[in-house]
Structure 1
Amino acid sequence: MRGMMGGMGVLIRVARAALAVLFVVLGVSAPGLAWAADDDDRERLMFRIKDPRITESSGLATSPTHRGIVYTHNDSDAGPVFYAIGPRGTTRATFRLSGAEARDWEGMAATVDPESGRGVLWFADIGDNMDGAWSDISVYRVLEPTRMRNATLPATRYRFRYKDGARNAEGVMVNPRTGRLYIVSKEFGGSVYAAPRRLSTTKPNVLRRIGTAPLMATDAAYAPDGSGYVIRTYFSANLYDASGNSLGRLTMPAADQAESITYTRDGTAVLTGSEGPNSPVHRVPLPAHLRPTPTPTPAPARRSTPSTSPAAAASPAEGISPAQLTLGVVLTLGAIAIITFIARQAR
């Protein structure tokens, strides 16, 4: 029995390795460009989320107005609630959204309202693990709280439908220069979808595909100055400029289930989180040549003339080539065969 269990352990490790290779092979968005931090500027653990209520931290956003505050929320079935986390990982305040529901919250974003200067938080109820179970999805907009104390906040709901059919998604981002919202689908061959320039609260807003996204994208975020954006996957983070051109991959710390990403307030690094109790939040510096210059952030552009970027949209290198597709299928079938064999042996 011990020998058989040892053999199963080997097979499980082989299956996991095959799946890891599959994700890495198909998740590459810019071959040959993989950035890692210098020896004196590596990623570091910022804190662990200490609140026992936060067991599935699925979204992350740096506060644009409260220094040292990071917002997060749980995954599905947790209610329309989000948390303000301080620099030591403790909860500073808990907020509930009125006029909102939480079917499957998967991501969030933070921007600044160009007219009032108030922070704006966006919560994306966009998960659909059945790939078509929901006729429409929702994103909620709420003004950022001015004080760090428990409160209920009014939310504005925007409903969305994909022009090319329902799908699962976990990434949401908002361009700080234009105010335009984007959804990034989580699929074998993911896509970036742009929302209309002006959002309606009375009817579903149509999301149109404008580019490709890496395999199994779990989150996305725009840089605070609008100079580019990042898409998180289970194994790395892919960087893009404001036009959707791929800049390469950023090495990420190991995580049980990489679910969230956001930029730091100064845009020189990203913060990335994971699901699970006492989950860690890491700070990963951007390559020096991709960090913003120390100049004031440009004033937001008029909403009447926003760009449709990201991209007209993504470079061909972001897609999945026939060779990658073939290798992916082979690895997937191999992993399935191993897992099936293990299940039969267990029975």
Structure 2
Amino acid sequence: MGGLLIRVLAVALAALALLPPSPAAADDAELLFRFRDPAITESSGLAVSPTHDDIYYTHNDSSAEPVFYAVGGDGRTKATFRLGNAEARDWEAMAAVKDPKTGRGVLWFADIGDNLDGAWPDISIYKVMEPRKLADATLSAVRYRFRYADGARNAEGIMVHPRTGRLYVVTKEFVGSVYAAPKKLRTDRINTLRRVGSAPIMATDAAYAPDGSSYVIRTYFSATLYKPSGEVIAKVRMPELQQAESIAYTRDGTALLTGSEGERSPVYRVPLPTQETPTPSARPEPERTEAAAEPQGLTGLNVLIWLGAAALAIGGIVFLARITR
């Protein structure tokens, strides 16, 4: 049976070879650090501290505890934090912003993974005030529960607009979508996520720029920059990673940070070309409010390629099953 499984995986990999090649690896990508903490084995979310210099936050993927880590620029963990009133079914993403009114950092943790597309009746996202001191502690979080207006989804990306505080979820699907949370979140009832636009195929993370002038969506293959309205700015070449899971902007918004799962996994810094960074104006661009803009949906060519890949993989599995009976 093990041999059959290996052969099936080989067929699946051959099918994936039919996919369009990703952009060449970024030549100017810089290895920022590697996580040194042996407890960080599946870094899935990544965010830059809004208030602590040279501090980066991460958390593990599924089957983990509601724990996140504050990591220094040398890759060493400075503090480990636990959310005492939270659970972690499948934490997939996080976001960090500075409250424009108070100047306090605000962290968001998204328990939004759903590989069965309906395994959970609802999903949860936790809001935590950023710790003032980097010392191990148990923190209290505010839990917000959500449901998608059009049915359950698997998702791995969240982003928060730094000026309005509005929360967005980006789904990980062949036909990905961006969903907006209500402007005002409620803790006494389930909040509804409504589709406001499309996202690239199999998106693994997303993030807003610190000034709100753009956002980025990461996939296994590349990253795409958008204006708040959903208009595509440009694609950004990413370094080759074992499993590209996370993305964030640097605090000054001039570069992107991207990471991977795995032990001692790396975090890379990818500079943004000036021409690919929108210039903020006195009147900010409106955020997405409806599903009219469709900048990065699945194209007809993508559909044909994925159908061909799926057919090849299924055919290979059936053939192998017959000859090994």
Does the aligned pair in 1 maintain the 2:180–2:194 contact within 8 Å?
Answer: yes
Q: What is the letter of the counterpart of residue 155 of structure 1?
A: A
1:27-66 to 2 correspondences below 5 Å: 42-66=28-52
The structure-2 alpha-carbon separation of the partners of 1:338 and 1:54, relative to structure 1 and needing over 3 Å to count, comes to same
CA distance in 2: counterparts of 1:344 and 1:149, whole angstroms: 58
Q: What is the letter of the counterpart of residue 131 of structure 1?
A: D
**Unaligned ranges ≥5, structure 1:** 29-33
Partner of 1:100, secondary structure, is coil
Which one of the candidate residues 93, 109, 112 is aligned to 2:98? 112
The structure-2 alpha-carbon separation of the partners of 1:317 and 1:149, relative to structure 1 and needing over 3 Å to count, comes to closer
CA distance in 1: counterparts of 2:48 and 2:318, whole angstroms: 43
CA distance in 1: counterparts of 2:321 and 2:34, whole angstroms: 35
CA distance in 2: counterparts of 1:219 and 1:134, whole angstroms: 20
The Cα shift of 1:88 comes to 0.9
How many pairs were matched up?
Answer: 321
Does the aligned pair in 1 maintain the 2:158–2:169 contact within 8 Å?
Answer: yes
Q: Which residue of 1 aligns with 2:207?
A: 221
Which one of the candidate residues 6, 19, 27 is aligned to 2:16? 19
2:256 equivalent to 1:278:
no
CA distance in 1: counterparts of 2:121 and 2:174, whole angstroms: 21
**Unaligned ranges ≥5, structure 2:** none
The Cα shift of 1:152 comes to 1.0
The Cα shift of 1:322 comes to 3.0
Partner of 1:215, secondary structure, is coil
Q: Which residue of 1 aligns with 2:176?
A: 190
Does the aligned pair in 2 maintain the 1:100–1:157 contact within 8 Å?
Answer: yes
Does the aligned pair in 2 maintain the 1:216–1:233 contact within 8 Å?
Answer: yes
Which one of the candidate residues 218, 237, 240 is aligned to 2:223? 237
Which one of the candidate residues 149, 174, 180 is aligned to 2:166? 180
Partner of 1:128, secondary structure, is coil
Partner of 1:324, secondary structure, is helix
2:298 equivalent to 1:320:
yes
Does the aligned pair in 2 maintain the 1:109–1:221 contact within 8 Å?
Answer: yes
Does the aligned pair in 2 maintain the 1:244–1:314 contact within 8 Å?
Answer: no
Partner of 2:91, secondary structure, is coil
- 1:261-319 CA deviation, whole Å, 9 max, x = no partner? 110111011110111111111111112213466x9x989x9xxxx95x23645744422
1:162-181 to 2 correspondences below 5 Å: 162-181=148-167
The Cα shift of 1:345 comes to 7.0
CA distance in 2: counterparts of 1:331 and 1:119, whole angstroms: 44
The Cα shift of 1:138 comes to 0.4
Q: Which residue of 2 aligns with 1:310?
A: 288
The Cα shift of 1:332 comes to 2.1
Partner of 1:149, secondary structure, is coil
CA distance in 2: counterparts of 1:197 and 1:36, whole angstroms: 38
Q: What is the letter of the counterpart of residue 327 of structure 1?
A: I
After TM superposition, the score normalised by the length of structure 1 is 0.85
The structure-2 alpha-carbon separation of the partners of 1:12 and 1:317, relative to structure 1 and needing over 3 Å to count, comes to same
The Cα shift of 1:21 comes to 3.7
2:268 equivalent to 1:290:
no
Does the aligned pair in 1 maintain the 2:177–2:195 contact within 8 Å?
Answer: yes
RMSD of the alignment, in Å?
A: 2.7
CA distance in 2: counterparts of 1:311 and 1:202, whole angstroms: 24
The structure-2 alpha-carbon separation of the partners of 1:169 and 1:90, relative to structure 1 and needing over 3 Å to count, comes to same
Q: Which residue of 2 aligns with 1:201?
A: 187
Q: What is the letter of the counterpart of residue 16 of structure 1?
A: L
The Cα shift of 1:115 comes to 1.9
Q: Which residue of 2 aligns with 1:69?
A: 55
- 1:153-178 CA deviation, whole Å, 9 max, x = no partner? 11000000110011111100000011
Does the aligned pair in 1 maintain the 2:25–2:239 contact within 8 Å?
Answer: no
Q: Which residue of 1 aligns with 2:137?
A: 151
The structure-2 alpha-carbon separation of the partners of 1:106 and 1:298, relative to structure 1 and needing over 3 Å to count, comes to farther
Q: What is the letter of the counterpart of residue 16 of structure 2?
A: L
Does the aligned pair in 1 maintain the 2:24–2:238 contact within 8 Å?
Answer: no
2:117 equivalent to 1:139:
no
Does the aligned pair in 2 maintain the 1:243–1:312 contact within 8 Å?
Answer: no
After TM superposition, the score normalised by the length of structure 2 is 0.90
CA distance in 2: counterparts of 1:186 and 1:196, whole angstroms: 21
Q: Which residue of 1 aligns with 2:313?
A: 335
The Cα shift of 1:256 comes to 1.2
CA distance in 2: counterparts of 1:73 and 1:346, whole angstroms: 42
Does the aligned pair in 2 maintain the 1:225–1:298 contact within 8 Å?
Answer: no
The Cα shift of 1:80 comes to 0.7
